[in-house]
Structure 1
C-alpha cells in the first residue's frame, strides 16, 4: 500500500510505501504459579502509527491495578503483577496500521504445586486383619508418589499393595503382622513442589 502526497505548486507527487505490521518476535507460552509475575512480550515491525490491542479468550484486556500494558520502541508488553487462576487462558496480541492487521497468540497456564489435601490417619489393627492407609492429593500433572516405612522407600509387593488412582494414594496390607508396626510417610511431588504426610500403624496382638 502507498500513501501519496501531492505538491501541486511544483507538480511533484511523493509516494510512501506502507509496510504492513508483523511480528519479529512472537509471544511465547508461559506456565507459572499463582502469585508470580509474568510478562508477555513481542517485537513488532511495520509503518507507523501502529496500534496494539490485547485479548484473552476473546475478551478485551484493559489495564488495572494488576495488569499493565505498554507499547514502546516497537515492543508490545503485557505484564501481570500477581497471577491468579482466572488469568489462565489464551492471549492474543493484535497490531494494526493503515496497511493491515496481524495477530499472534500464546497460552498462560497457572500450575498447582503438589499438595496433600487429606492426610492419612493412624491406625491400630489386630494381627491378621487388613489395613489401609490412604491420602488425597492434588497438583498439576505429572504427579509422582512414594511411600516410606520408617524412612525407607517401599516398593509394591504381594504384602504391600501401593496404588495411585483418582488423586488417591493407597497403601493396603491384606494381612498385617507385628513387623508392619511402623511410621509410614506418603510423599507426592511434581515440578512445582513436594508435599508429605505421616501416619502410624500399630499392630495389636
Structure 2
C-alpha cells in the first residue's frame, strides 16, 4: 500500500497567516481530523518616529513582543533617572530629557529587539541657540 501524503505549503508567510489550520481525512470507514496552530513571530520595526516636542523622542513600533528596549546617548546606555524618563505604553516608546542643556547635545539611539531580530533608529540633538534644542 502506498502512503498518501498531503502537504499545505504557504509561500511568503506573513503575520496574517497565523492561526489554527485543520486537516480532515475521510474515507468510507470514517473520518479524522488534526489541527496545528501557526504562530508567527515578526521582528520589531519602527512605524514612525516623532522627532521632538521640546526634548521628547518618540517611536511607535510594530512586531511581536515581548520587546527588549534600550536607549543610548553617544553610544552609552541611558537608564531612567531624574534626567531621563523612559516610558513604553503599548507600541509607543518615549525618551524625555528634562532640563535640556548643552551637556545633552549628542546622538540618541533607540534599539528594540525580540527573539528574532532588532531594529534601531537615531536622532541627533543640537542647540540652535543657548536654550533651544533642535533635532536633526
Under TM normalisation by the shorter chain, which class is it?
A: 0.7 to 0.9
SS at match of 1:76: coil
Match of 1:90 among 13, 17, 20: 20
Displacement over 3 Å in runs of 4+: none
| Deviations 1:135-178, CA, capped at 9 Å, x for gaps | 11111111221100001111111111111112111111221122
Which stretch of the first structure deviates more once superposed, 110-119 or 132-141? 110-119
Contact kept, 8 Å, 1:114 with 1:140, in 2: the verdict is yes
Asked if 1:108 is matched to 2:38, the reply is yes
Q: Which runs of 5+ in 1 are unaligned?
A: 1-47, 49-71, 124-129
Answering whether residue 80 of structure 2 is matched by residue 80 of structure 1, we say no
More strand by share: 1
Larger Rg: 1
Distance (Å, rounded) in 1 between the aligned partners of 2:78 and 2:50: 16
Task: Provide TM-score, normalisation by structure 2.
Answer: 0.81
| Native 8 Å contact 2:15 2:42 kept in 1 | no
- Work out which of the residue numbers 96, 101, 108 in structure 2 matches 1:172: 96
Q: Which runs of 5+ in 2 are unaligned?
A: 131-136
Q: Is the 8 A contact 1:96 1:102 kept in 2?
A: yes
Aligned to 1:147: 71
Aligned length: 129
Counterparts of 2:14 and 2:93, CA distance in 1 = 28
Aligned to 2:49: 119
**Residue of structure 2 in register with 1:10 after alignment:** none
Aligned counterpart, 1:136 = 60
Counterparts of 1:84 and 1:167, CA distance in 2: 19
